[in-house]
Amino acid sequence: MQSEGMNDSLGKEDFLEFVFKELMAISKGTSTLDEESFAKAENQEQLQVLEGLIYLNEDLDLYKTELNAKVVALEKKNEELAQFNYIASHDLQEPLRTVTSFSKMLAKENKDTLNETGLEYLNFILQASERMQQLIMELLDYSRIGRDKVLVDIDCNRLVELVLLDMSAVMMDQKAEVRVEELPEIKGYKTEMRQLFQNLVSNAIKFRKKDSIPKISISAERGDSHWIFKVRDNGIGIAEKHKDRIFGIFQRLHSKKKYEGTGIGLAHCKKIVEIHNGEIWLDSELGEGSTFYFKIPYNY
Amino acid sequence: MVRLNCVLLIDDDEPTNYLNEKLIREAGCADTVVTKESGEEGLEYLVSCAEGNIALPDLIFLDINMPAMNGWEFLEEYRKLDESIQSQVLLIMLSTSLNPDDHKRAEEMQEVAGFIHKPFTTITLEEILEDYFKSNGN
């Protein structure tokens, strides 16, 4: 602190400027304000302002320290969870492979000696282990979404074109009609965005109405700070009460016999949209088709 | 040994139904064992029994985690059924869930007599028969 004669106190305007500078410094965490600074005050009011600034600075420091500790703890927890999912899925696969391999062997080598019930049991074992294999793989895929990915510019028109090309066999099979309006260019994770469109379109075809041609339209609208994408279908629709549940992992609304699959598709979609800082939701009525919306910020 | 008229199993997993049906049949404690693979089918069955004057199941084992109508949603609808149906039926939840919240939620429901974990065993079955049906005689 520089000394300017006996009295360090500042004039009113200089004091205001000093306070302003200190506020900026506090917000940046570089304030050196302490009791020695009290000398700058020329009256009781200014002294109180300085005291207030010191308290503010101390409080802010405390919050910052607490916040940092929480961030570190969360990052650790997050990493732990990702690891847990990955390791559990990997380690679960080995004993499962043993079950599958030996049941297959049993089926092959003892086909003639096993009676009908025995074969039926074996079939249950094989089917269950296949399903478990599938569940594990999908859990693994889910945990990998957005890991070590690079943000790139994505032309959604081109992306959707590729998705539809990939799905052309299924679409021809079902005579699906897809209308794609002009889509924007966004910043995002390419593989994930592709999977997002693919999941939504393939759901639209999968959950089509019997005896009607699936009609799907894909469009996007400009919002305040984000694009709102829309994937609309004329399928079987979703009841109001299930609108949240369908985004959960392994949640299904139909029996395995009616529609195959594990029920992770929309959970993938949700995670993909969320790693882009977006949101996903839907409008639907049972029997009246569904419209899935998702928001992607411009400046992600 | 207590002998029941009918046991209803509601579970979306076919192998589970297969195993539990076999277990109950082999225990020889029920004349019929009916399996339904969804909450909706289970409800329909109960309604059809009531309407068709067929004897209602004495005992229902209900799974929680099922597609569409899960166990909890089944209970919401079950509650709306005629009271005469509920008074004749003992309902027990049979679940893989180790979540204490599920257990607590089941305990708080008047319609639920018990909560047991899979796998279902002969010992559990015998305990249930002992606890809930023995005093009825037969």
Q: What is the pLDDT of residues A135-176, one digit of tens each?
A: 998 988 898 888 878 899 999 999 999 999 999 999 999 999
For residues A10 and A101, state if they share a domain: yes
Asked whether residue A187 falls in the same domain as residue A107, the answer is: no
Of the residues B10, B11, B13, B14, the best mutation for testing chain A's interface (the one with the most A CB atoms within 10 Å of its CB) is: B14
For A253, the closest of B18, B37, B68 (CB atoms) is B68
Residues A292 and A189 in one domain: yes
Average pLDDT, chain B: 92
Give the CATH number of the domain where residue B31 resides.
3.40.50.2300
B21/A154 Cα distance (integer angstroms): 54
Instruction: Please check whether residues A3 and A140 belong to one and the same domain.
Output: yes
Q: Mutation target for B interface from A255, A256, A286: give the one with most B CBs within 10 A.
A: A255
Tens-place pLDDT, residues B33-71? 999 999 999 999 999 998 888 889 999 999 999 998 999
Range of the domain at A80: 1-144
Residue A230 and residue A126 in one domain = no
| SS3 sequence of chain A | CCCCCCCCCCCHHHHHHHHHHHHHHHHHCCCCCCHHHHHHCCCHHHHHHHHHHHHHHHHHHHHHHHHHHHHHHHHHHHHHHHHHHHHHHHHHHHHHHHHHHHHHHHHHHCCCCCCHHHHHHHHHHHHHHHHHHHHHHHHHHHHHCCCCCCCEEEEHHHHHHHHHHHCHHHHHHCCCEEEECCCCEEEECHHHHHHHHHHHHHHHHHCCCCCCCCEEEEEEEECCCEEEEEEEECCCCCCHHHCCHHHCCCCCCCCCCCCCCCCCHHHHHHHHHHHCCCEEEEEECCCCCEEEEEEEECCC
Domain total of chain A: 2
Query: CA B121, B92, A251 angle in degrees (round to 5)?
Result: 90
Interface contacts A/B by beta carbons within 8 Å: 21
Do A135 and A202 have their domain in common?
Answer: no
Statement to judge: residues A88 and A166 lie in one domain: no
Residues A137, A206: one domain?
no
Q: Provide the domain count of chain B.
A: 1
Q: Which helix (H) or strand (E) holds B5?
A: strand B4-10
Nearest to A124 among B15, B37, B73 (CB): B15
* CATH number for the domain harbouring residue A180: 3.30.565.10
Are residues A138 and A159 located together in one domain of the fold? no
CB contact under 8 A, A252 and B37: no
pLDDT in tens, A213-249: 999 999 999 999 999 999 999 999 999 989 999 999 9
For residues A135 and A4, membership in a common domain is answered with yes
Which of A128, A242, A255 comes nearest B15 by C-beta? Answer: A128
Final residue in a domain of this structure, among A90, A122, A144:
A144
Contact B96/B15 with Cβ under 8 angstroms?
Answer: no
Q: From CA A235, how far away is CA A239, in angstroms rounded? A: 12
Pairing of strands A290-297, A226-233: antiparallel
Distance of CA A291 to the CA centre of its chain: 19
- My answer on whether A196 and A103 are in the same domain is no
Positions of chain A with pLDDT under 70 = 1-8, 300
User: A92 and A173: one domain?
Assistant: no
Q: What is the pLDDT of residue A6?
A: 41
Domain ranges, residue B61: 4-136
- For the segment B62-89, what is each residue's pLDDT rounded down to a tens digit? 999 999 899 999 999 999 998 888 899 9
